Structure 1
Amino acid sequence: MSAADIFAEGFKADPYWWEAAEPETDLDPLPARADAVVIGSGYAGLNAATELARAGLDVVVIDGGRIGEGGSTRSGGMVSSGQKLVVGGAIKGIDPELFDRMIGDSIASFDYLQTLINEEGLDADLKITGRFFGAHAPSMVEPTHRNGRILAEKTGVTVHLYDRGNQRQVIGSDYYFGGMVVDEYGGLHPGKYHQALRRRARMAGVKLRSHAKAGPVRDTDGELKLVPTERGDIIAEHVVSTTNGYTRKDGHPDLARRIVPVKSYQIATEPLPSDLIEALIPKGRMISDTRRDVIYTRPSPDGSRILFGSRPGFFEREDRDAAPAIYERMTEIWPELKAYKITHAWSGFVAMTVDKVAHMGHRDNSEFAAGCNGNGVALMSYLGYQTAQKILGRQNRPTAFDRERFTAVPLYSGNPWFVPFVAAWYRLQDWYERR
């Protein structure tokens, strides 16, 4: 199938998730005063806003685009606890005591997400189906198994190790050389989860306002802060910034030196035969691998199609232009999918940090939570909640991610000029290891 033939009739360069839950526009006037302003309408922002409103504060959430148009509804929707710290390499260079605390908070974030969805009856299609981590090269089998044992020891999850001889029990492909499965991990529907959080926030009294791009937060003569936006200024006692991968230097200059937005792309296949999906991804597991230029893939929550995420190469592209390269990576793992087309292609920005872990704290005259490093569904929801608890004075202790030290990226002020070079180096290393 040629590149031009991979697009199904009615193809959209929009997230597949928006079919069920599209972002919202709310152009009602901004309040001149509020107890708290939350900048950014993702998972962190909405969880923070709801907790503050339930405590009696007058809260407004503002976003530069539509409510929910950013990274939260563009993700793969995979949920886990602590795996990024171990499998993602963040364990290197972190004090063991701090690492153990981070693991504890990562576990707490996963518990928080599940409790939130289940106890409040949120429609999010959360399913715990397990997750397979594939070793993309023979040399990566042993490190993957080692990380699996560490993950089981540190977090208490159930880990199964596989070599190439028995990996078809968990994935219908010979692409990998083995790997591991974590039973307790799963996925949800990012769009529906966000829609449920919007409804929850409004029920708590939160005002949601779109198309209100914010400038740098300024102190006033007193203890209040001024939040300038394209639609007017807001005076508030508290400001929470949760812009994550969409942090701009003209809005948050200090944070922008510490957060690198990296564009990740996804495609969705047309509806597939149910027996084919079960053969390719038994039990509907989430899947990722050990490549530095990582891929992530899963069935859609309704089990009708496969969603596949990656980068198309070194340089950023328009979503439709990137789709053929993503499609090629997908069919390299599952050649059977060459017989099927794609209906959606989209992208979103992931917030990367130097130390590969998330951070919360106080910068740019606001409390902030950012730096999901591609693992944000549970963690950013939790850090938004924790930021609200911090403002309300309800924390028993600071979270491990709330640290003064947040290293800036050298020679960087918000323009990620170096990403293509890093991407090229990552892909070269991956190729060398595999070949």
Structure 2
Amino acid sequence: MFSDDYREAPSWLDDLGPFTAVAGDLPESTDVLVIGSGYTGLSAALQTARGGRKTVVIDSADMGHGCSTRNGGQISTSIKPTLQALTKMVGAEKARAVRQEGVNALNWIEDFIRTEEIDCDFKRAGRFHAAHTPGHYEALARSAEQVKKDEGIDSIIVPRSEQRRELGTDSYFGGVVYTRHASVHPAKYHRGMLGKVAEAGAILVPHCAATGLVEEADGVRVITAKGEIRARDVVVATNGYTTNLTPWLKRRIIPIGSYIIATEELPRELVDELFPTDRIASDTCRVVYYYRASPDRKRIVFGGRVSADEVDPRISGPLLHKDMVRIFPQLQDVRISRSWLGTVAYSFDELAHIGSRGRIHYAMSYCGSGVSMASYLGMRTGQKILGLAEGKTGFDGMLFPTRPFYTGNPWFLPWVVSWYRWRDQQECRKALGTRG
């Protein structure tokens, strides 16, 4: 099952050496303190540092140790609720503004990567979203047509008879290609951002966990593992790694482990068979799977939720392998070279959120679609701190909901995942029986 060079680490890090920027000492004060060095924190820091504010970025571990270097490198338009569902929630005008932010975020990250000349294998390859039952295919096709009509989001409907031109499998019942979705090497992208933040003059302090926040008249006093620091403004950019440092935010975040494997190196012709268009892929299962060829097209990177409870990568790896082989029987004898996990964050309304409470600013809860949205809302957070009008977003003013008695421990998650997984399995069995 495991290759000779198997490691429990993201395959993305194989391509990178150590970050060479010298870690700084924690100063006694700063204009802006950013807690968290993922996409959100670095985007905010880049804005404030370039805007002339003394900026410090701290992290409890290595810079970017969380999901910013552990995700699947897939970039969509990020907004999960449909326009119709959002309209019922917040009204037509606000719903369109929120949905548009998904498109804005995707366009922004492309412009940012190109303008900053970050070498991270960014590509507008498109996404093939596959239907795991005939009923889901019909619903996907209807939804794609509606979204194209209402929001101008381009897509291509692919019936099962033409599925092999998109994906080398017969396990699905057709799907939809979202032509503007993109892929990226997530760790290279993060490393590029980290370099830009260092160049802008921000102080980077890894292994410096924040353990306390004390709001004062002229700012915030932050207690850390390396001493105290006073900041005029603080950015909490912790997403799925949010702790009791900010209980109000922790009560609104649902942390969820997302698991990924990378195969050993494969023959090029096999990768070409499985991913002939080099698109990223996902499916309509409630417990979703997402997968792609690596940027060098030597491996398959396959991710998803594999169990009701959080598990060790050595346990999750074989479970993911089993699901991968169910979709791609051609990979039956292929071994796992890397297995890892990261923690994403959901919210109870399935929306990202940005805002502030006094001098403490936040952006988080990207609901599994955070590569572009985390970067984008981090950037907008930095602009808000600078007092720039362009910092305004469609998410401004949105309530950030929680539930009674919820404290940040998603005790209900195993039950929900088990129920969803059971329903997915029943639907797949019924569909396969119908297919004969």
Query: Shorter-chain TM-score category?
Result: over 0.9
Q: Which residue of 2 aligns with 1:242?
A: 237
Among 400, 405, 415, the residue aligned to 2:394: 400
Residue number in structure 1 paired with 2:8: 13
Q: Distance in 2 between matches of 1:368 and 1:18?
A: 28
The 2-side partners of 1:92 and 1:332 are apart by 38
- Is 1:112 aligned with 2:112? no
* Residue matched to 1:332: 326
Mapped pair 1:213 → 2:209: yes
**Preserved contact between residue 27 and residue 209 of structure 1 (Cα < 8 Å):** yes
1:319 alignment partner AA = P
SS of 2:291 mapped into structure 1 = strand
Change (3 A) 1:87 1:330: farther
Contact 1:82 1:151 in 2 (8 A): no
Verify: 1:191 aligned to 2:178, yes or no: no
- Once residues 46 and 391 of structure 2 are traced to their aligned partners in structure 1, the CA distance between those partners, rounded to angstroms, is 21
Correspondence for 2:218: 223
> How far is 1:111 from its partner?
1.3
Instruction: Measure, in 1, the Cα distance between the counterparts of 2:18 and 2:366.
Output: 21
Following the alignment from structure 2 to structure 1, what is the Cα–Cα distance between the partners of residues 67 and 424? 26
* Residue 93 of structure 1, CA deviation: 3.8
Give the paired residue count: 428
Secondary structure class of the residue paired with 2:161: coil
Question: 1:425 offset after TM fit, Å?
Answer: 1.2
Spell out, residue by residue over 1:123-160, the C-alpha distance to the aligned partner (whole angstroms, 9 max, x if none).
11101111100111122112111221233234433211
**CA deviation after TM superposition for structure 1 residue 247, in Å:** 0.4
CA distance in 2, matches of 1:186, 1:42: 19
For the residue of structure 2 that corresponds to 1:339, the secondary structure is coil
Cα 1:287–1:77 shift into 2, 3 Å: same
Secondary structure of 2:27's aligned partner: coil
Indicate whether 1:303 and 2:278 are aligned. Answer: no
Distance 1:278 1:15, change over 3 A: same
- Distance change (3 Å), C-alpha of 1:318 and 1:397: closer
- Corresponding residue for 2:120? 124
Deviations 1:384-420 (A, max 9, x none): 0000111111124731222251101333102222211
- What's 2:170 paired with? 174
Q: Tell me how far apart the structure 2 counterparts of residues 104 and 215 of structure 1 sit (CA, whole Å).
A: 37
Output aligned runs, 1:222-371, within 5 Å.
Answer: 222-248=217-243, 250-363=244-357, 366-371=360-365
CA–CA distance in 2 between the matches of 1:428 and 1:297? 22
Residue 274 of structure 1 and its aligned partner are, at CA, apart by 1.0
For 1:32, the aligned partner's letter is E
Amino acid at match of 1:247: T
1:36-83, Cα deviation, whole Å (9 max, x unpaired): 000010001101001100010000001111101011111001112256
Greater Cα offset, 37-46 or 99-108: 99-108
Normalised to the residue count of structure 2, the TM-score between the two structures is 0.94
Amino acid across the alignment from 1:132: F
Report Cα offsets for 1:66-120 as digits up to 9, x if no partner. Answer: 1010111110011122563449976774532222101221111111101111111
2:239 maps to a residue whose letter is N
Query: Partner of 1:143 in structure 2?
Result: 139
Aligned to 1:3: none
Other structure's SS at 1:215 match:
strand
Moved more, 404-413 or 24-33: 24-33
Unaligned runs of 5+ in 1: 1-5
* Aligned equivalents of 2:61, 2:342: Cα separation in 1: 14
> Secondary structure at the residue paired with 1:219?
strand
Q: Secondary structure at the match of 2:80?
A: helix
**2:200 aligned residue (196, 199, 204):** 204
- Cα distance in 2 for residues equivalent to 1:281 and 1:128: 15
Greater CA drift, 391-400 or 195-204: 391-400
Q: Separation in 2 of the partners of 1:180 and 1:108?
A: 21
| CA deviation after TM superposition for structure 1 residue 343, in Å | 0.5
The amino acid across from 1:176 in the alignment is Y
- TM-score normalised by structure 1 residue count: 0.94
1:423 to 401, 417, 420: 417
Deviations 1:19-45 (CA, angstroms, capped at 9, x unpaired): 123675965421111000000100011
Moved more, 129-138 or 405-414: 405-414
Match of 2:433 in 1: none
Unaligned runs of 5+ in 2: 431-436
Secondary structure of the corresponding residue to residue 210 of structure 2? coil
State the percentage of identical aligned residues. Answer: 38
Contact (CA 8 Å) 1:135, 1:141: kept in 2 or not? Answer: yes
1:16 deviation in Å?
0.7
8 Å contact 1:359–1:403 — kept in the other structure? no
Kindly state the Cα deviation for residue 433 of structure 1 after the two structures are TM-superposed: 2.3
Distance in 1 of aligned mates of 2:310 and 2:78: 29
